[in-house]
Amino acid sequence: MRFELRTSNEQLHSTLTSSAVENGELPDPAHWAVADVVNYFKATGFEEQATAFQDQEIDGKSLLLMTRNDVLTGLSIKLGPALKIYEYHVKPLQTQHLKSNAS
């Protein structure tokens, strides 16, 4: 799975090797490997912080279980990027996962 960030419209688009994007959304993060999580954060502009997810072996299932506190303190990354990662990425991915599995 490889993600690319297209800056023309500031939206995340993905080029996947294992599955297709459905309805313009990312595939369910529950199926992501550690490398997919790392690639996602690199593609969204958090290249330096992505290594923390690698070091802690955070796969998609683990990512979906993370709390705000886990991201702020458990990954040993600076507060500013940690807040952005949680609010703009982890929380929305969790919401997307819950919505897609509720139907």
Q: Which domain holds residue 32?
A: 2-102
pLDDT tens-digit series, residues 75-97: 999 999 999 999 999 999 999 99
pTM for the complete prediction?
Answer: 0.77
If one counts the domains in the chain, the total is 1
Task: Report the pLDDT averaged over residues 33-47.
Answer: 97
Residue 33: closest CA among 61, 66, 11: 61
Residue 47 sits in a domain whose CATH number is: 1.10.150.50
Q: Which residue has the tokens 């996962």?
A: 97
